[in-house]
């Protein structure tokens, strides 16, 4: 086994660790469709599991490794990717690198520097302060869509010897479209399209000079 294929294997293992957290994290965000309380309550109970030094440490190491190996893969096959899912893989991966850096940085900053509870209000306050919504709406929308896009392309690649081209396309597009629909619904809810979200003043103040 050469170094690149070991790196690919590790990238996949690390993706499973991060993916397990993100799957529950996005289920948590989906609960906003039922209301703010449902979202906050679930996050508070889920925190008992992930806010432990072991789980957070493991997540942090995997994210750093994923960013490093992801950037390496993007550079290694630059301009050599063909076909829809190969392109989705590199575009979504590139966006996730950017998103992880900003998102994790913001969560750590909110906790350590601002001393805030980094809950739903912290995440979505920017969507309720003019003109920050022009950043936050696409920023979150593309993050969730990129996560699903990356899974769709991984599925398309991993099934290359097991399924026909038609079946791989069918499932790949289904995962991608489901992700886009889900992302639209939760980001629209966060932005207050379906019901009003009253953001506490301490979160709004983080956007004021």
Distance, in Å, from the CA atom of 56 to the CA atom of 61, rounded to the nearest integer, reads: 9
d(CA 92, CA 86): 10
- Stretch of 76-84, 141-149, 155-163, 173-181 contacting ligand HEM, by CB under 6 A: 141-149
Are 91 and 117 within 8 A, CB to CB? no
Exactly one of 9, 12, 34, 47 binds ligand HEM (CB under 6 A); that residue is 47
> Binding of ligand HEM at residue 147 (CB under 6 A)?
yes
Least distance to ligand HEM from the beta carbon of 164, Å? 30
Segment interacting with ligand HEM (CB under 6 A) among 34-42, 142-150, 165-173, 191-199: 142-150
Selected range binding ligand HEM among 43-51, 68-76, 191-199, 200-208, rule: CB under 6 A = 43-51
Q: Shortest gap between Cβ of 90 and ligand HEM (angstroms)?
A: 16
81 belongs to the binding site for ligand HEM (CB under 6 A) = no
**CA distances in angstroms from 26 to 56, 120, 182, 209, listed in the order given:** 17, 12, 9, 32
**Would you say 97 and 142 are in contact if contact means Cβ atoms under 8 Å apart?**
no
- Establish whether the linkage from the previous residue to 131 is cis, with ω within 30° of 0: yes
């Amino acid at each position: 086994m050469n170094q690149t294929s070991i790196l690919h294997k590790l990238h996949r293992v690390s993706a499973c660790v991060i993916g397990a957290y993100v799957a529950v994290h996005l289920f948590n965000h989906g609960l906003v469709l039922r209301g703010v309380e449902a979202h906050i309550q679930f996050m508070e109970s889920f925190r008992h599991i992930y806010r432990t030094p072991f789980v957070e440490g493991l997540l942090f190491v995997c994210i750093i490794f994923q960013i490093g190996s992801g950037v390496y893969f993007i550079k290694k096959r630059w301009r050599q990717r063909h076909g829809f899912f190969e392109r989705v893989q590199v575009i979504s991966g590139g966006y996730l690198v950017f998103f992880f850096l900003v998102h994790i940085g913001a969560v750590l900053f909110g906790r350590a520097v601002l001393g805030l509870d980094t809950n739903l209000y912290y995440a979505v306050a920017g969507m309720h302060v003019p003109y920050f919504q022009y950043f936050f709406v696409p920023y979150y929308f593309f993050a969730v869509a990129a996560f699903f896009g990356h899974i769709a392309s991984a599925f398309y690649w991993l099934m290359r010897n097991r399924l026909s081209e038609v079946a791989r396309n069918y499932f790949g597009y289904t995962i991608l479209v489901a992700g886009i629909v889900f992302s639209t619904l939760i980001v629209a809810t966060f932005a207050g399209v379906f019901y009003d979200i009253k953001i506490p003043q301490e979160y709004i103040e983080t956007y004021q000079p």
